[in-house]
């Protein structure tokens, strides 16, 4: 039987891959249902293609041939082995058998597989999407968005731990309903790419192009994203280009050599994590990774990628002692190849999809993370503010009597607030591995724990920058995160927990309705201190502004003592509406300390303000006051 053994794939098709410029590699490598011309007419089957340049022989084996061997042929000059298998079809299970330069056979899953078996099995699965999207309106709006000047409150979650046992299709109902009720603008999903070890939470990826089959098929995941979009909710996905696991059936030593990774362990291994590091200087690896980033956005309509562990990519000496790393060509510690790769992926994605969000989890002071590439930066849109997170949580954990001595912890972030475009993260990393839940971090009894958390989150939602919290924080989950048991949803009906959950709903609604809280996040013109030095009373106060001249004054009291008749300055005289009081009974507060719905500022200079008034601020509580240029909105 004569037919095109490569199913139409040619060396010309692979030139961009070898030059590092092919950013749609999933259209060329992997498995594809195809029809080729035979002597007696069309022949249906599957075309397979895999990169293994140093292999002596490559075979494909699967349930279509009784797991026997079907030899693939080397496409001349490409390092890619390909073949067409008649009679194979969609949903077929398969693996590659690769005989390396050492003569040893290795059974490998397809690096480009678009669907995979659920662990502990790991075969790749031939899959063709048939999904028809219904989010055109969302995508059109996203392309015209101005993310930095728009509200962004992100709910981070682990799909398997949010409500264990739920499928993508079930989550499309339950998650959409919950996020809509709570009012977050985005969800951020911890990695959904296929991974064998559940406690890794998806951060050790073996199937970069394959949504995990734990919750259903790839088109089921598309449906979840589509439903979120139709509800007006953006979807950010955690992406892990910094390292990959050493499972012998996955990417590592794929053709018997260090193909995707560096051969030198001083460059190619993360000892802390027991993983390999990608070789960012290799064109084919760059093509693989940039294609993967674009794949999630093109094929699954993902709205943004949060790039995990960027610091580990930027520094050659990351978590290494002297003599355990290889300097760059200039003798420095910066990983120049990784920096070039990050710039390339950011440039390409923003060019292909205006409005997409590229977010760096970067824990150092590396300059210009969110600066444009043409200005010498890395080109990310946002950076997680890890300094704010660390300082704020240290302050939160102090007994109130000691907070006055560490006041700078809660104010220092304003010193560098405009150096990058920040997201304020209280993420999964802060409630695992013995760190304790947010409830456990706060000292003293439950009344003070809940009051302090309500004050803290209102402080966070009014601080310059976008916001992110991890699932369960919104109702005061007491245990640390455990992906195997999920969240204790039953407590959300109890005193304190329910009030906190209601506060988050109102915070999100107020945040989205009041432009001063988000429009000028990245400009000093959007923020004015009332008092940042009131350490003795553990109190912070500021005014947020928008371009139209509206104002929201935010006063937070981290002391257990109420503040009555606290004098503050304000930018305008007149009536200021009290739009938030975290001590309200609806939040399970005492309901005893407030301002009867409003305060009136009189024209009398106070500090650098032309007007002043007196406010009551509850113990371990916060008050927001609004002054609008036009008619007030509810």
Residue 193 has pLDDT above 90, yes or no: yes
Q: What is the per-residue burial (b if ≥16 Cβ within 10 Å, else e) of 86-105? A: eebeeebbbbbbbbbeeeee
Q: What is the pLDDT of residues 201-244, one digit of tens each?
A: 999 999 999 999 999 999 999 999 999 999 999 999 999 999 99
User: Residue 147 forms beta bridges with which residues?
Assistant: none
Taking the C-alpha atoms of residue 468 and residue 39, their distance in angstroms, rounded to an integer, is 60
User: What's residue 530's pLDDT?
Assistant: 98
User: Mean pLDDT, the chain, as a whole number?
Assistant: 95
Quick one: pLDDT band at residue 12, thresholds 50, 70, 90? confident
The stretch 386-408 carries a mean pLDDT of 96
Examine residue 343 and state whether it is found in any structural domain, yes or no: no
User: What's residue 633's pLDDT?
Assistant: 40
Q: What is the pLDDT of residues 438-491, one digit of tens each?
A: 999 999 999 999 999 999 999 999 999 999 999 999 999 999 999 889 999 999
Examine residue 542 and state whether it is found in any structural domain, yes or no: yes
Q: E strands of 240-334, at which residues?
A: 244-245, 269-270, 275-276, 304-307
Give me the phi and psi of 59, to 5 degrees please: -130, 155
Q: How far is CA 338 from the centre of its chain?
A: 19
Quick one: pLDDT band at residue 6, thresholds 50, 70, 90? confident
Taking the C-alpha atoms of residue 345 and residue 17, their distance in angstroms, rounded to an integer, is 15
Quick one: pLDDT band at residue 11, thresholds 50, 70, 90? confident
Quick one: pLDDT band at residue 3, thresholds 50, 70, 90? low
Q: Which residues contact 239 (CB under 8 A, 6 or more apart)?
A: 191, 292, 293, 296, 305, 306, 307, 308
Quick one: pLDDT band at residue 632, thresholds 50, 70, 90? very low
CATH number at residue 620: 2.60.40.1180
User: What's residue 483's pLDDT?
Assistant: 87
Residue 545 has pLDDT above 70, yes or no: yes
Residue 412 has pLDDT above 50, yes or no: yes
User: What's residue 1's pLDDT?
Assistant: 45
Domain boundary among 125, 150, 179: 125
**Vertex 233: Cα angle to 231 and 235 (nearest 5):** 135
CATH number at residue 60: 2.60.40.10
Examine residue 59 and state whether it is found in any structural domain, yes or no: yes
Domain boundary among 80, 108, 125: 125
Residue matched to tokens 């309705």 = 513
Taking the C-alpha atoms of residue 550 and residue 629, their distance in angstroms, rounded to an integer, is 5
User: What's residue 272's pLDDT?
Assistant: 86
H or E element, residue 616: strand 611-617
Contact yes or no for 187/473 (Cβ under 8 A):
no
Which residues are part of the catalytic machinery? Answer: 308, 361
Alpha-carbon radius of gyration of the chain: 27
User: What's residue 251's pLDDT?
Assistant: 97
Q: Give the Å distances, CA to CA, from 123 to 115, 290, 447.
A: 9, 24, 52
Read off the pTM: 0.96
Count structural domains, the chain. 2
Q: What is the pLDDT of residues 513-531, one digit of tens each?
A: 999 999 999 999 999 999 9
Domain of 76 in residue numbering reads as 12-125
User: What's residue 461's pLDDT?
Assistant: 98
Taking the C-alpha atoms of residue 313 and residue 490, their distance in angstroms, rounded to an integer, is 41
Residue 2 has pLDDT above 60, yes or no: no
The stretch 546-564 carries a mean pLDDT of 97
Q: What tokens were used for 164?
A: 């264990």
Examine residue 623 and state whether it is found in any structural domain, yes or no: yes
The stretch 23-43 carries a mean pLDDT of 90
Taking the C-alpha atoms of residue 8 and residue 24, their distance in angstroms, rounded to an integer, is 17
Examine residue 151 and state whether it is found in any structural domain, yes or no: no
Using DSSP bridges, classify how beta strands 563-570 and 574-581 pair: parallel, antiparallel or unpaired: unpaired
Taking the C-alpha atoms of residue 249 and residue 457, their distance in angstroms, rounded to an integer, is 45
H or E element, residue 294: helix 283-300
Residue 95's SS3 state is: strand
Residue 424 has pLDDT above 60, yes or no: yes
Examine residue 237 and state whether it is found in any structural domain, yes or no: no
Taking the C-alpha atoms of residue 354 and residue 263, their distance in angstroms, rounded to an integer, is 37
Burial, 328: exposed, middle or buried (Cβ in 10 Å; 0-12, 13-18, 19+)?
middle
User: What's residue 8's pLDDT?
Assistant: 74
Q: Give the whole-number percent of the chain exceeding pLDDT 70.
A: 98
Quick one: pLDDT band at residue 630, thresholds 50, 70, 90? low
User: What's residue 70's pLDDT?
Assistant: 94
Examine residue 620 and state whether it is found in any structural domain, yes or no: yes
Contact yes or no for 124/45 (Cβ under 8 A):
no
Examine residue 554 and state whether it is found in any structural domain, yes or no: yes
Contact yes or no for 290/306 (Cβ under 8 A):
no
Domain boundary among 105, 125, 145: 125
User: What's residue 4's pLDDT?
Assistant: 62
Q: What is the pLDDT of residues 217-228, one digit of tens each?
A: 999 999 999 999
């Amino acid at each position: 039987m004569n037919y095109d053994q490569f199913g139409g794939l040619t060396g010309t098709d692979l030139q961009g891959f070898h030059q590092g410029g092919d950013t749609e590699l999933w259209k060329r490598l992997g498995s594809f249902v195809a029809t080729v011309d035979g002597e007696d007419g069309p022949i249906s089957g599957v075309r397979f293609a895999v990169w293994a340049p140093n292999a002596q022989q490559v075979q494909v084996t699967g349930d279509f041939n009784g797991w026997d061997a079907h030899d693939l042929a080397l496409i001349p000059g490409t390092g890619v082995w390909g073949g067409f298998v008649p009679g194979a079809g969609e949903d077929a299970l398969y693996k590659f058998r690769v005989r390396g330069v050492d003569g040893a056979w290795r059974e490998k899953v397809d690096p480009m597989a678009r669907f995979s078996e659920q662990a502990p099995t790991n075969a790749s699965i031939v899959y063709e999407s048939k999904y028809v999207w219904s989010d055109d309106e969302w995508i059109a709006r996203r392309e015209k968005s101005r993310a930095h000047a728009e509200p962004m409150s992100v709910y981070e979650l682990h799909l398997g731990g949010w409500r264990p046992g739920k499928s993508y299709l079930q989550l499309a109902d339950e998650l959409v309903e919950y996020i809509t009720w709570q009012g977050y603008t985005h969800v951020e999903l911890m990695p959904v790419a296929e991974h064998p070890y559940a406690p890794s939470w998806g951060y050790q990826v073996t199937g970069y192009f394959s949504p995990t089959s734990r919750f259903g098929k790839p088109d089921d995941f598309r449906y979840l994203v589509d439903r979120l979009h139709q509800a007006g909710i953006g979807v950010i996905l955690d992406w892990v280009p910094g390292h990959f696991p050493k499972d012998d059936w996955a990417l590592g030593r794929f053709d018997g050599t260090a193909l995707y990774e560096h051969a030198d362990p001083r460059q190619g291994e993360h000892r802390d994590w027991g993983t390999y590091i990608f070789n960012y200087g290799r064109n084919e690896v760059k093509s693989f990774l940039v294609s993967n980033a674009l794949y999630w956005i093109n094929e699954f309509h993902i709205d943004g990628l949060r790039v995990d562990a960027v610091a580990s990519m930027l520094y050659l000496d990351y978590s290494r002692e002297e003599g355990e790393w290889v300097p760059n060509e200039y003798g420095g510690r910066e990983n120049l190849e990784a920096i070039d790769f990050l710039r390339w992926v950011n440039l390409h994605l923003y060019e292909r999809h205006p409005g997409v969000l590229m977010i760096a989890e970067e824990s150092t002071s590396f300059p210009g993370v969110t600066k444009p590439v043409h200005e010498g930066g890395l080109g990310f849109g946002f950076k997680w503010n890890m300094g704010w997170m660390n300082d704020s949580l240290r302050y939160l954990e102090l007994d109130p009597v000691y907070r006055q001595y560490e006041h700078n912890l809660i104010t220092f972030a304003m010193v560098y607030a405009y150096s990058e475009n920040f997201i304020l993260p209280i993420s999964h990393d802060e409630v695992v591995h013995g760190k304790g839940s947010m409830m456990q971090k706060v000292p003293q009894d439950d009344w003070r724990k809940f009051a302090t958390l309500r004050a803290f989150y209102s402080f966070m939602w009014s601080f310059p920058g976008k916001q992110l919290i991890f699932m369960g924080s919104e109702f005061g989950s007491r245990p640390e995160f455990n992906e195997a048991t999920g969240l204790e949803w039953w407590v959300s009906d109890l005193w304190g927990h329910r009030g906190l959950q209601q506060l988050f709903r109102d915070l999100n609604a107020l945040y989205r309705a009041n432009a001063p809280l988000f429009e000028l996040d990245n400009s000093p013109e959007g923020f004015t201190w009332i008092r940042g030095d009131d350490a003795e009373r553990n109190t912070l106060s500021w005014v947020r502004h928008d371009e139209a001249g509206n104002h929201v004054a935010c006063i937070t009291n981290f002391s257990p003592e109420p503040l009555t008749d606290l004098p503050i300055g304000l930018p305008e005289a007149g009536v200021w509406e009290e739009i938030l009081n975290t001590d309200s009974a609806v939040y399970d507060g005492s309901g005893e300390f407030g301002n009867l719905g409003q305060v009136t500022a009189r024209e009398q200079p106070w500090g650098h303000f032309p007007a002043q008034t007196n406010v009551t601020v509850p113990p371990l509580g916060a008050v927001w006051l609004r002054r609008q240029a036009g008619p007030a909105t509810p």
